[in-house]
Amino acid sequence: MRFDIRYRTCFTYDRTVAESHNELRACPATTEHQKLLSYRVTVAPTARVHSFTDYWGTRVDTFGVRAPHDELEVLAEAAVETTPLPAVTAAPQVSQLAEAAFVRSEVEYLEPTPLTEWNDELRRRAEALVAASGEDLIGAVLAIHRLVRTSIRYEAGATGVDTPAVEVWRSGVGVCQDHAHLAVALCRSVGIPARYVSGYLFSEHAGGLVSAGAGGADRSSSVEVQTHAWFEAILPGGIELALDPTNGRQVSDHHVRIGHGRDYGDVTPLHGVHLGEATAALEATVTMQRFPSHVRRDLDTTSPAAVTTRTPLASATLERADDHRRLQQQQQQQQQQRATQPERC
């Protein structure tokens, strides 16, 4: 399946800020079942953009705006092709989780983080599901997935970007980020490595909830969505079981992956700092358009690594290292941290 994706974020400050520095993680990854055809980033005011791959394998576009500004606009445009994920036919066993080599290789996805910590109640619930599954490890993960799906009601705005899994469990409400964090916490509590995945989902519902018609929309249909989140259980034998508990389904070719990490903090779509006492109003939109895979679009002429310029937006690369250090020193006196909470699905 072929998608054109347009990710736009605009910050409007209530007073002029002197400088800002930002990191963007919006580029679709290239994987065995997903191919990035093209990608470009434009920003205003004029800056310079530098791209690198972070520790987790996610592309990061980073830029600093040194001139005073009262608005910041970021636009990422991508074309990507996805193919269906094959059905898992292997049958890993629960007892394999204890193998030393496997534990060492996945230790980063076994430890709790502030957003994926668990308590005794969560651990006991997960242990009961694993025990009921016998040696069927995939069955145990699917049971955890179902528990999250049936226990957490989707409610936009009920949580924040820093809401931990335990609080989500207690409240029984959340968004896609919370569903993913809770599933990750439950898996890790019983020794199943799991990671948080950030991406996009072609859906007719802005919250990342799939409607019955989402899979049968017009071949060139365009929808307004938000960034989405799901989780992957890492199982012995190199198996990566990707599940979307927000929708109670396995990840499909309607899902477009950006990157993964231990939790949301490793793959935050856009975050940064600004110098000044201003507060910002945020407008964030994601548009996805679907085409048959053989259709070529104008955006395909841009290479995946390209950064282009167009009016009135201007492209950019990373500020020099000395500029970055200077900005950090200034921010010791005045710094505000912000994250793009309103774009959460």
Taking CA atoms, 211 is separated from 76, 215, 227, 237, 308, in Å, by 26, 8, 17, 34, 36
The answer to whether residues 261 and 122 belong to one domain is yes
Amino acid identity for residue 289 in this structure:
Q
The answer to whether residues 54 and 142 belong to one domain is no
CA atoms within 13 A on the CB side of 1: 21
Q: What is the C-alpha to C-alpha distance for residues 60 and 164, in angstroms, rounded to an integer? A: 25
The answer to whether residues 33 and 69 belong to one domain is yes
Residue bearing tokens 């009920």:
158
Residue 248 located in a structural domain: yes
The answer to whether residues 8 and 24 belong to one domain is yes
Domain housing 36: 2-83+268-343
Q: What is the C-alpha to C-alpha distance for residues 5 and 280, in angstroms, rounded to an integer? A: 25
For 88, phi and psi rounded to 5 degrees?
A: -80, 120
The answer to whether residues 152 and 246 belong to one domain is yes
Phi-psi region for residue 104, left (φ > 0), alpha (ψ -120 to 50) or beta? Answer: alpha
- The one-digit pLDDT tens for each residue of the chain (345 residues) are 899 999 999 999 999 999 999 999 999 999 999 999 999 999 999 889 999 999 999 999 999 999 999 999 999 999 999 999 888 888 999 999 999 999 999 999 999 999 999 999 999 999 999 999 999 999 999 999 999 999 999 999 999 999 999 999 999 999 999 999 999 999 999 999 999 999 999 986 555 565 433 333 444 578 999 899 999 999 999 999 999 999 999 999 999 999 999 999 999 999 888 898 888 888 889 999 998 766 555 545 444 444 433 333 333 333 334 444 444 444 433 344 444 444 567
Q: Any idea what the CATH number is for the domain that residue 112 is in?
A: 3.10.620.30
Residue 216 located in a structural domain: no
Q: Any idea what the CATH number is for the domain that residue 68 is in?
A: 2.60.40.2250
Contact predicate 270/24, CB 8 Å: yes
Residue 288 located in a structural domain: yes
The answer to whether residues 11 and 64 belong to one domain is yes
Residue 17 located in a structural domain: yes
Residue 75 located in a structural domain: yes
Q: How many domains does the chain have?
A: 2
Residue 291 located in a structural domain: yes
Residue 217 located in a structural domain: no
The answer to whether residues 16 and 65 belong to one domain is yes
The answer to whether residues 251 and 237 belong to one domain is yes
Contact predicate 102/96, CB 8 Å: yes
The answer to whether residues 134 and 260 belong to one domain is yes
The answer to whether residues 333 and 231 belong to one domain is no
The answer to whether residues 258 and 302 belong to one domain is no
